Every structure is written in C-alpha cells, then in structure tokens.
Amino acid sequence: MPLGQRVGDNSESRYCGVEIPFDEDIHTALAHNLAGGFDFVLAPLTDPQYRPSQNVPNTSTVPPFAGSDLVLSPAQWSSHVVGKISPWIDLDSSNEMMRADSEVTLKQELAWATHLSLQACLIPTPTPLSGGNYARSVNQSLQGLSNMQLWLRIPLVSPDLQEAEGTPNEDEVFLRRDLVTGRPLSDSWEWWNMFRTLCEHHSHLSVALDIMASLPSASAIRRWLGEPIKAAIVHTSAFLTNKKGYPCLSKRHQYLLSTLFDHSVQIVVSGDSLHHLDGMDLEPSIASNSNGYGEGLVSKHPLKLYLEYLSHLYRKLPPISDQERFEMGYRDFLQAPLQPLMENLEAQTYETFEKDTTKYIQYQKAVHAALLDRVSDTDASIKTIVLMVVGAGRGPLIRASLEAAKETGRKLRVYAVEKNPNAVVTLHSLVKLEGWQDTVTIISCDMRDWKAPERADILVSELLGSFGDNELSPECLDGAQRFLKDDGVSIPSEYTSFIAPITASKLHKDVKSYNDLAHFETAYVVKLHSVARLASPQPVFTFRHPKSKGDNKRFKKLIFEFPEDMGSALVHGFAGYFDSILYKDIHLGIEPSTATPNMFSWFAIFFPLRQPVYVPVGSVMEAHFWRCVGPTKVWYEWAVTAPSVSPIHNSNGRSYWVGL
C-alpha cells in the first residue's frame, strides 16, 4: 500500500519498494513483501551464480531465470517488479572472459526484462570514469527500448565527503583525482555525467541514488535535483536508533527524503534489519491485499519498521496548497511566451491572471501610496487625480486603483486603455455593472497610438513578463510616456531581469525532442521544478519609467561562481526572473531571494543551451546576454564563453522574437 495519501498528490513517490536477493520462487517472495506493506520489489532476474562461459557445450544456452514469465501475470510483472541486472557484470574488466560474460548477460537480462514488460531495470554502478565499454553496450540496448527505463545505480558520494571521512587512497574507487583527466574519482556525479554523455543523454536512462549513512554537502546534493532521478535506495545502515529502539533518520536525511518525495522519486529500502529489531517483536496478523497476495501469510516483515518510518516521513509533508495544486500541471512544461502586441489574449488567460489576488493587492498598495504623496489631506476633497491604466485587460487594475482611492479618500478620473476589442466589450459591461460611468472612460486603442485629452498624474500598467521586459513593457510605456505629466508617476517605476545557470535534464530533453535548431533558440515560460539552481541569480537588464534618454537595447556579461563544495556540474540553460519596484518600497517579483509570496501570475523563463556545458569543480561560468531591438521585433541572443565556448543563440532573432 502507498506510504500515504495527500489530496492532489498522485506522484510515484507514494510507492515504496524493497530490494531482495535472488529467489527462484518469485511469486512467494513477491507475496511476502507485498503482505509486509511494500508496493514493489527490486529483484534480480538471474541466478547470481550463472556465467555464460560456464555453460556446458551442447546444452541449453538459456540462463536459469527465476521461474518463467507465467508465474506472474503481465500486469503483476509490470506493476510490482523492478528488475535488477546482475551486479557482478563488469564490461570494462581487464579480463577478456569477464567482459564477454558481462556483455552476454547484460543483453540477455535486458531482453528478458523487456519480454516481461517491466517498467524499469536497475543496472549496476559503472567503474568510476572508465565505463566506456559498459556505456557502449547499454547505449546499444537503449536504442531498442520503447517503454522500459534503465536506472543506473549511483552512490551518493562526493569529494568533500570522502575527504572528511578520510577514505584510504589505495582504494581505486575513491582516488582523489584521475591521473589523466584530473577529474575527481570520488565524486559519483562525475561517474553519472560521463556515462549519460556516452549514452547521448538518452531519455530512458535515469538515476537510482544509493543513500548511505553519510551525506555530501547540501550544494553537492542540490546538483542532483536537476537530474532524472527515478529512485532512491535507502540502506538500513543509514538509519539511526531512537530512544525506544526504533529506526529513525538524521535531520539531513529527513530533509533529503522529503525533497525527493516532492520530486516524485520512489524510495527503495535495502539491507538487513540490523540491530533495530533486536529484542522486539511485531504482533503477527493475517494480511492480504487487493492483488490477492499474502493470503494466509503472517504480515511480520524484517523491514516493516523501516517502511513505517518512511510512511511517517511522507505523512509529515505539509498539505498541498491551492497554489501548488494549480501549478502542478505546469511543472517543467515548456510554454511559448505571450506575444502581447501581436496576439489578443483569450478569456481563459485573463481569468487565470485575475485569480492572482496577491499581485493586485501589491498594485493597490502602490496606488494607495502614490495618491497619498500627490494629494494632501486638505486637498483631498477638491483635487482630482488623473490615472491611466494602459493595458487594462478586463479591469482588475481599474478595480485596484478605485479601491486605493476609496481607502485614501482621494478623487480619481480613470482612463482605461485596451487594444483587445474582446476585452473592451467586457470593460464596458463592467463599468455599467459597477456604476463607474462618471469615473472611468474606456479607450479602445493601442496605447502607442492614443491621443490623450489630458496628461496623467499616475500611469498604471501590468505589462511585465517573466523576464521583466520580454512582453515589451519598455516599448509600450515609451509610447505612453508622452501623456504622463512631467512630475507624473509610473507604476511600475522600475524592473530588472535576473539570470542563473541551472541543471535541467528534463527541460533539455523536451527541447531536444523537437529535433531542430529553432527550439534551442527559443525562450520558454516554465514552472521550474525538477531543476538544480547552481548559482545565485544575477541582474541583467534594468528599465526605469518615466524613461530618460537612450534606447532599449542592452548587453550584459555575467560571471557565475559555483560553490566549491558542489563539485562539477552540467548547465543545460539559464533560468530567468524579474523583480520590479511598483512605487517606492512596494515591489513585485519572482526572483527567488525576494519573490513575492503566494503569487502565481508569472513562472520563470528558460533559455536553453544547444549543448549542455560541463563546468569543472573550481571553474567559473561566463555568460553573455543581449536584448536586441529592430523596426518590427525585439529578441534576445545568448552565449557562453567559459569554461567552454558555445555558439551565439538566436542570432538576429532568427528563431524567436517578440513582435512590435
């Protein structure tokens, strides 16, 4: 049965498995573990003693598999068994016989797993930074897979951990650095990165992390969140014992598992029960489940207490908020940014934005403060402020402005300018419904073309995009600035875009699936989730309103330093954010360190790289971003010049632009 159930959570992380040894009677072994509460088993497919080279000549070449495919139904194989490829295989061994046996066995077992319709197979850990032949054989098999995932088993270790624990240098696996490449052998992320690169970043190759008693630094762990982790194998040796003798985990382990739960990673318990159950006995009970397993079996299981503890951790997760529930369907999903001037928004888009009450509360605060600054209490009854909402949509900024006037006791005359004729219909209905006829004038016109009858004290707009200026707020407000008084106020008054390098295997895979250049030169709006943020965001382009002299072209060179204890990393692209000053100290934004809480109008923007950039430990990354402006369009170009050089993406706006 699942670890627990939270409303709105249907992720794979609810299901917990157990690693078991080879058993010829897979039906009984599966029944025992399902009766013990586990959802699936991680089970070897072949007798560990089998070697192809030891087959007697002229006898069957079929290896001694665990029974036959008939002992379980196809649905049972698919739902409750993850195959485990024989861990003894070593395709990079110096022994020719071992290499040959390993290659034959790997292909036989993967073929058998495919025949059984298994959803996934665990393949052994590669030899650190020298698994070329292993990767070649796996890559060949990947070309023929349609549905099954291969989980590469990787221990969660890194150089900082090995140094702290004083691992002996004579152990080949944990040598500090490779003598040829200089790359740290003890950083298991390096093993994974080399292997998946050799396998061409195949979408069916993912990671199963081995979690031991010791954990590397938080920075080293964070790198993994952008990788395709499908499972975390938690060893019983990682558990502590509480005062009552029950298994528990350290605070760091608890935080790690909670994070993995949130990333739909399945947990697998591995190992013996150790001393946690010494002198303890579980009450026996008869158990069965909906699959018919375990009828008449005692539900006592040596790893039951570990499962119960993991279930406890899962149930401790905070409830899923309404905002999270809304965002779940958008997580790591590529969306083309809006073209606000070329296309008219649809009603559903307006409705989504209008539900974000936090944004309009901030705007209301800004108008409130501006009104108090422009009109004294003594003039409040006699002075009328001219306020223009440019890009009024279906009216939420009008409502926020009028509420601010009501709060402050100030008088307003509002002009609502909107180019979308469909939204204008709604605005006219809203004015009648709310009785705003004497206060609000609807203007059906592009703000850049409108000839205002008077100049405004306050200009209000919500033209900001995920990257601040990417929905052409500068160009639109430049056109509207002519009808703002010399001492007039623009809300927002300033906004800045931000950029940060990220590991984002899933996003890169999705862009790659289009199999063309254009999609690698397009910026996407994305609710970032399965990504690793490798360095703090840095400011890129800033725009202020009212605008002083100058054009809207921009260029910025950025240098990112990664935490030393992170180790090496792979950058798939850049996450873009914005922060804006609406008025004085009232701000609005999505840059992570200052993000406005409980706001969902904007997701981040993602600038992909055509080829992921490997950043060795201790190196810096140098990136360049351009904002280019032509007669009919605005576009971005971007490139990396260190530690390696990438092409300039989107030259002359050939793939992606925003139309003026």
Choice among 19, 471, 591, 637 that is catalytic: 471
d(Cα 527, Cα 333) in Å, to the nearest integer? 7
- The reply to whether 446 sits in an annotated binding site is yes
Residue by residue, DSSP assigns 394-461 as TSHHHHHHHHHHHHHT-EEEEEEEE--HHHHHHHHHHHHHHT-TTTEEEEES-TTT---SS-EEEEEE
- The reply to whether 360 sits in an annotated binding site is yes
Asked if 381 contacts 410 with a C-beta cutoff of 8 angstroms, the reply is: no
- CA distances, 193 to each of 133, 159, 196, 447 (Å): 15, 15, 5, 51
Residue appearing with tokens 């059906």: 444
Residue by residue, DSSP assigns 140-203 as HHHTT-SS-EEEEEEE---HHHHHHHT--TTSGGG-SS-TTT---TT-HHHHHHHHHHHTTT-T
Q: Which tokens belong to 116?
A: 């059984």
d(Cα 5, Cα 10) in Å, to the nearest integer? 8
- The reply to whether 432 sits in an annotated binding site is no
Closest C-alpha to 434, from 468, 473, 400, 387: 400
- The reply to whether 350 sits in an annotated binding site is yes
Closest C-alpha to 84, from 152, 38, 37: 152
Which residues fall within 8 angstroms of residue 350, CB to CB, at 6 or more apart?
393, 394, 423
* Cis peptide bond prior to 492, omega within 30° of 0: yes
Q: Are strands 16-19 and 40-44 parallel, antiparallel or unpaired?
A: parallel
- The reply to whether 244 sits in an annotated binding site is no
Helices (H) and strands (E) in the chain, counts: 17, 28
Cα torsion through 114, 152, 221, 38, rounded to 10: 50
Which residues fall within 8 angstroms of residue 198, CB to CB, at 6 or more apart?
131, 132, 135, 136, 139
Q: Which tokens belong to 556?
A: 């910025």
Told to judge if 591 belongs to the known catalytic residues of this protein, a careful annotator would answer no
Phi, psi of 30, rounded to the nearest 5 degrees: -65, -45
HSE, CB side, 13 Å, CA atoms: give it for residue 534.
34
Asked if 600 contacts 612 with a C-beta cutoff of 8 angstroms, the reply is: no
Residue appearing with tokens 């209301």: 364
How far is the first Cα of the chain from the last one, in angstroms, to the nearest whole number? 56
475 SS3 class: helix
d(Cα 427, Cα 393) in Å, to the nearest integer? 8
- The reply to whether 343 sits in an annotated binding site is no
Choice among 103, 190, 462, 637 that is catalytic: 462
Told to judge if 165 belongs to the known catalytic residues of this protein, a careful annotator would answer no
- Specify the length of the chain in residues: 660
- In 513-574, alpha helices (H): 517-520
Catalytic residues: 462, 471
Q: Which residue ranges are tagged as binding site for S-adenosyl-L-methionine?
A: 350, 359-360, 418, 446-447
